[in-house]
Structure 1
Amino acid sequence: MYTMKVQKIGKTIDEIEEGDSLSLTESIEDNQLLLYLGLTNDANPLYIQHEYVKQTEYGQPLVPSVMLMGIITSAISKHLPGPGSHVVNFSINFIDPVFHYETLTFEFEVIKVDKMKDVVTISVEATNHEEKRILDAVVMVKPPTVTLKEETHE
């Protein structure tokens, strides 16, 4: 006999309101960068080769754009709407580069709740430690719709 744990889910479409918000601060560390580069086999010298980057306009290694997108989708999956959410559309504008070891603040706000389409639209703005805006995004998310119930099998 085994028991399936009841899984907590995020907010459903009926529990979300325009104006719901989340603030998240993330520091970009070596372990995250190395995991990303290893998983994707991305060998772009802008991300890791210090000597190469010194010869470019950036001067220091950049954080891959996809990592920043991952921080956003992870926050949506974990917090707003939360577990069970599914990103269905993602539009992002990278305003300024992000460098290794920066600390970023991401501000999320629900700007639209469309119950007919069962989708919420979330606006995201990220700033660096100097409070300079580095990205804007608009993410459409299908909130969780199913609750997992405890099951017992023999």
Structure 2
Amino acid sequence: MQINRSKKIGKTIDEIAEGDSLSLTESIEDSQLLIYLGLTNDANPLYIQHEYAQETEYQRPIVPSVMLMGIITSAISKHLPGPGSHVVNFSVNFIEAVYHYETLTFEFEVIKVDKMKDVVTISVVAVNAEESRVLDAVVMVQPPSKKESDEIG
């Protein structure tokens, strides 16, 4: 598989500073849930069966935690540091359940730049439309290392 050669790579470690930030809003749609469930063969009734979920503390189907982690890693790959970066450590605390059709706002902030280890640490907080915190995470990322050609390929 050939990667588009005109795609620019993300920020290198020398281009990232503590305090760099990104805000991202995502809505959780049925199509995303069905793709995740199909790809993983995850048939947890808590994610898809309304009758089952009504008998739990959640009362309705919830979004799989791994999908929320995927939104975070995708934002890192696309935006901060961007294409060419690699997640090397991920710690997440799921505070509240996220339900189908919710809209979440994710706030990313670089909290540490370690040039010796070639890793940046990013803090992530996600809130729902009611401004309730649903998760927080700390992600260690190795930014792209080469900028000579300024392209992936």
TM-score by structure 2 length? 0.93
Cα displacement string for residues 72-96 of structure 1 (whole angstroms, at most 9, x for unaligned residues): 0000000000000000000000000
Matches within 5 A, 1:70-149: 70-147=70-147, 149=149
Partner amino acid for 1:81?
P
- Taking structure 1 as the reference length, the TM-score comes to 0.93
> Could you say what the CA RMSD is over the residues aligned between the two structures, in angstroms?
1.3
Asked if 1 retains the 8 angstrom alpha-carbon contact of 2:104 and 2:126, the reply is yes
The question of whether the paired residues in 2 share the 8 Å contact of 1:13 and 1:118 is answered with yes
1:13 correspondence with 2:9: no
Cα 1:148–1:74 change in 2 (3 A) is farther
Q: State how many pairs are aligned.
A: 147
2: distance between equivalents of 1:43 and 1:55? 17
Please list every run of 5 or more consecutive structure 2 residues that lacks an aligned counterpart in the other structure.
Answer: none
Partner of 1:46 in structure 2?
46
Partner Cα separation in structure 1 for residue 125 and residue 14 of structure 2: 25
- 8 Å CA contact 1:6, 1:149 repeated in 2: no
> Partners of 1:108 and 1:6 in 2: how far apart?
26
**1:83/1:144 contact within 8 Å kept:** yes
Instruction: Give the conservation status (yes or no) of the 8 Å contact 1:61–1:99.
Output: yes
Following the alignment from structure 1 to structure 2, what is the Cα–Cα distance between the partners of residues 101 and 7? 32
User: Aligned partners of 1:34 and 1:5: how far apart in 2?
Assistant: 31
8 Å CA contact 2:127–2:134 kept in 1: the answer is yes
Q: Which has the larger radius of gyration?
A: 1
- 1:64 partnered with 2:96: no
My pick for the range that moved more, 6-15 or 66-75, is 6-15
Alpha-carbon distance in 2 for matches of 1:6, 1:33:
31
Three-state SS of the structure 2 residue aligned to 1:82 is coil
Deviation at 1:6, TM superposition (A): 3.6
- Give identity over the alignment, percent: 80
Report the alpha carbon displacement of residue 148 of structure 1 after superposing the two structures with TM.
Answer: 7.2
Distance 2:148 2:59 in 1: 50
User: C-alpha displacement at 1:127, in angstroms?
Assistant: 0.1
